[in-house]
Amino acid sequence: MRIGQLKSLLTICVVIALCAMATRSAGQISIPDSSGFSGFVLVGPGYFNIANSFLVSGAPLIGEVGDPVVSSITDAPVANGVAAFPFVFELNYTFGKSHTQLFFGNQLEDILRLDVRIGIGLRQELRDKSILTASLLLTPLELKFWSDPYIEGEERQPTGLYFPGLRLRWSHILKTGLVLTTTYRQYRYNEEKSGEWLVNQGRIDLDEVSLLDRNGDVFKLEALYRINLNKHRLSPSIRYWNEAHNGAAMAQKGYTIQLTYLYQNPKWILDVNLLYGNRKANEIHPVYDTKLDANRYGGSITMFFPVKMYKRSVLSILIGGEVFAEYSNVDFFDSHVNMIMTGVVWRHRPGVAVKSNSALEH
């Protein structure tokens, strides 16, 4: 991590800590007092434009975005467009007396990152009004990558990736907007053959193949702070992750800084996100004789328009778009995802309304 980036990271940490000590947030997410079912469903068509040297296909994409044959593993990937149909939902059951909530579902942000996980877990409101959440993350829908991406002039073969895990979250810490989240994921490829073709071509040694193993464990830690200002909300966050893949050349550490802005009035809701991140590999990549180093940039904008209000339900229209790019010191590892989508959102609340500005946030 560069000195200037470290100073920026420490500055935001200080800001979040000061906010946690000096302010108290209101209108945050809470568990309802009434027992019963609640949740939301989001469905609608979308379009993705993706450039990635490793990805083949996966939900919510309808079709493949990976090229089976590449002429050179030193060139940046070619972008391909594909239709998509995101399906996002969460089903909750609340025990009002104990302020306990069971939930099952996924999140829009994860789906747009092609993270097709399903969370099953429990939220518990404590006496100090903070909320503890624990969930098991499952990946029932297969995400496909190239089993050996380092092949030139010949057809590459896809393989499935599964990455189940666990997530723990503590919200409303000290009755403030501070939220801490830690996530653990296991990356497991059905067939991991990275580098085998290069060995057969005599371009790398057999003992160097183990450096390219993408199986392994990924740990993430995030600190987020929600600041409510009447109709506006700012949520700066810092995320650190350790991608402890079995292959030392693929194992990486990094961070992401993100700022979320939310505006709400009776007629529409605006949600804007900006992010910057960096990650760097632990060891030198045997194919490129350098440690992988990448910067990531992203931004998204989503608007919700309520069109029908029921006693305990709301039907809204969603329109959104996202731009995400990662630039590596090795062109083959560059990637970008551009997305636009529209859809409808239906949300149901039990008894007393949930104190939340967003139908998709927990």
Phi, psi of 114 (to 5 degrees): 60, 30
- The answer to whether position 76 is within a domain reads yes
For position 62, what pLDDT does the model report? 93
Report residue 354's pLDDT band, with 50, 70 and 90 as the boundaries. very low
- The answer to whether position 362 is within a domain reads no
Q: Give the domain CATH number at 68.
A: 2.40.160
- The answer to whether position 354 is within a domain reads no
Query: What percentage of the chain reaches a pLDDT higher than 70?
Result: 89
β 118-125/87-95 pair status: unpaired
Q: What is the pLDDT of residues 140-157, one digit of tens each?
A: 888 999 999 999 999 999
For position 29, what pLDDT does the model report? 61
Phi, psi of 69 (to 5 degrees): -125, 130
Query: What percentage of the chain reaches a pLDDT higher than 90?
Result: 77
Residues 320-326, mean pLDDT to the nearest whole number: 95
- Range with the lowest mean pLDDT among 12-26, 223-237, 239-253, 272-286? 12-26
Q: What is the pLDDT of residues 94-134, one digit of tens each?
A: 998 999 999 999 887 787 778 878 999 999 999 999 999 99
- The answer to whether position 12 is within a domain reads yes
- The answer to whether position 355 is within a domain reads no
Assess contact for 79 and 336: CB atoms under 8 A: yes
For position 140, what pLDDT does the model report? 87
- The answer to whether position 360 is within a domain reads no
Q: Which residues of 153-186 are buried (b: 16+ CB within 10 A; e: fewer)?
A: eeebebbbbbbbbebebebbbeebbbbebebebe
Count the domains in the chain. 1
Tell me how far apart the alpha carbons of residues 328 and 341 are, in angstroms, rounded to a whole number.
28
Q: What is the pLDDT of residues 104-115, one digit of tens each?
A: 998 877 877 788
Report residue 308's pLDDT band, with 50, 70 and 90 as the boundaries. confident
Report residue 351's pLDDT band, with 50, 70 and 90 as the boundaries. low
Q: Domain limits at 242?
A: 3-348
Q: What is the pLDDT of residues 200-249, one digit of tens each?
A: 999 999 999 999 999 999 999 999 999 999 899 999 999 999 999 999 99
- The answer to whether position 356 is within a domain reads no
Q: What is the pLDDT of residues 43-88, one digit of tens each?
A: 999 999 999 999 999 989 999 999 999 999 999 999 999 999 999 9
> pTM (2 decimals)?
0.85
Assess contact for 115 and 88: CB atoms under 8 A: no
Task: Give me the chain's average pLDDT, please.
Answer: 88
Give yes or no for residue 353 having a pLDDT over 80: no
- The answer to whether position 54 is within a domain reads yes
